[in-house]
């Protein structure tokens, strides 16, 4: 089964083509470029590198959140369009779970954390053992101080990964002895992680059902709600 997967949920962006769990090609960018300009050229490049056409793809996959509201919408819209045009199924994957798949070859506990600003992160904890990922908790938006308390309960070394990992590490390193900052080459979410998660879950759906997952309202909506409440 050939899958084209996309991630544009934060500053980084990536596209990959897989055949089963075998990675055929991958494009990754971490230059702060606008996803609306770079994503479709990356799709073309990934297909060209794998010597495939869009008609050869059996299914599509995308990280649907949490993360950047704009970035998530761009990725979801791209996959919905590609899947609809080719009449193929697609899958939506948790961005935090995709990060955990960077460590699939280790027996570790991973805290995937993405910067949600205002001293908060989007986070989830995963335990990986013998190539199997088990969730410890659901994805949630949480103050860093509360996440610290959850990690303290783990009782094992926890690897911090994601674009919020360094923020969390700097905030927790003085009080927690069981945390380790991931190396940068494994830190960020990748389309390949999304592909592996979609294969393991096998929950491909019609493109009309694909939707972003936001753990909190966008800033504009929060500000509008606050204005209404203060009237």
pTM for the structure as a whole: 0.92
Average pLDDT over residues 17-24: 98
pLDDT (0 to 100) of residue 218: 53
Which pLDDT does position 229 carry in this prediction? 55
Q: Give the mean pLDDT of 91-96.
A: 98
Confidence label for 227 from pLDDT (cuts 50, 70 and 90)? low
pLDDT for position 33: 76
Q: How confident is the model at residue 222 (pLDDT cuts 50, 70, 90)?
A: very low
Stretch 224-229: mean pLDDT, rounded?
A: 51
The model's pLDDT over 97-146, given as tens digits with 9 standing for 90+, comes to 999 999 999 999 999 999 999 899 999 999 999 999 999 999 999 999 99
Strand ranges, E, within the chain: 2-7, 13-19, 22-29, 59-65, 90-94, 108-117, 120-129, 132-135, 140-143, 158-161, 179-181
Read off the tokens for 14. 């990536």
Beta bridge partners of 141: 122
CA distance 140 to 151: 14
CATH architecture of residue range(s) 2-96+188-225: 2-Layer Sandwich (3.30)
Q: Average pLDDT, whole number, for the chain?
A: 93
Is the pLDDT confidence value at 60 over 60?
yes
pLDDT digits (tens, 9 = 90+) for 170-180: 999 999 999 99
Interatomic CA distance for residues 48 and 32, integer angstroms: 24
| Model pLDDT, residue 50 | 98
Please report the pLDDT score of residue 231 as a whole number. Answer: 61
Strands of the sheet with 2-7, listed across from one edge: 22-29, 13-19, 2-7, 59-65, 90-94
CATH architecture of 102-186: 2-Layer Sandwich (3.30)
Please give the Cα distance from 198 to 133 (Å, whole number): 13
Q: Which tops the pLDDT comparison, 63 or 216? A: 63
**Domain boundaries defined on the chain:** 2-96+188-225, 102-186
DSSP-based three-state secondary structure for 15 = strand
What residues contact 72, with CB distance under 8 A and at least 6 apart?
A: 8, 9, 63, 64, 65, 66, 95, 212, 213, 214
């Amino acid at each position: 089964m050939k899958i084209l997967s996309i991630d544009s949920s934060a500053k980084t962006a990536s596209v990959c083509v897989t055949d089963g769990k075998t990675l055929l090609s991958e494009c990754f960018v971490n230059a702060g470029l606008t996803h609306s300009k770079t994503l479709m050229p990356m799709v073309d490049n990934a297909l060209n590198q794998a010597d495939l056409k869009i008609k050869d793809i059996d299914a599509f996959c995308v990280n649907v959140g949490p993360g950047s509201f704009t970035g998530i919408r761009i990725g979801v819209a791209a996959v919905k369009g590609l899947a609809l045009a080719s009449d193929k199924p697609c899958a939506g994957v948790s961005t935090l779970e995709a990060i955990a798949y960077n460590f699939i070859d280790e027996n570790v506990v991973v805290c995937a954390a993405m910067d949600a600003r205002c001293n908060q992160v989007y986070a989830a904890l995963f335990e990986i053992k013998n190539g199997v990922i088990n969730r410890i908790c659901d994805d949630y938006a949480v103050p860093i101080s509360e996440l610290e308390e959850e990690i303290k309960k783990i009782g094992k070394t926890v690897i911090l990964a994601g674009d919020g990992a360094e923020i969390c590490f700097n905030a927790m390193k003085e009080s927690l002895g069981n945390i380790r900052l991931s190396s940068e080459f494994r830190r960020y979410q990748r389309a390949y992680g999304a592909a592996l998660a979609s294969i393991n879950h096998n929950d491909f759906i019609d493109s009309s059902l694909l939707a972003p997952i936001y753990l909190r309202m966008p800033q504009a909506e929060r500000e509008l709600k606050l204005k209404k409440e203060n009237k």
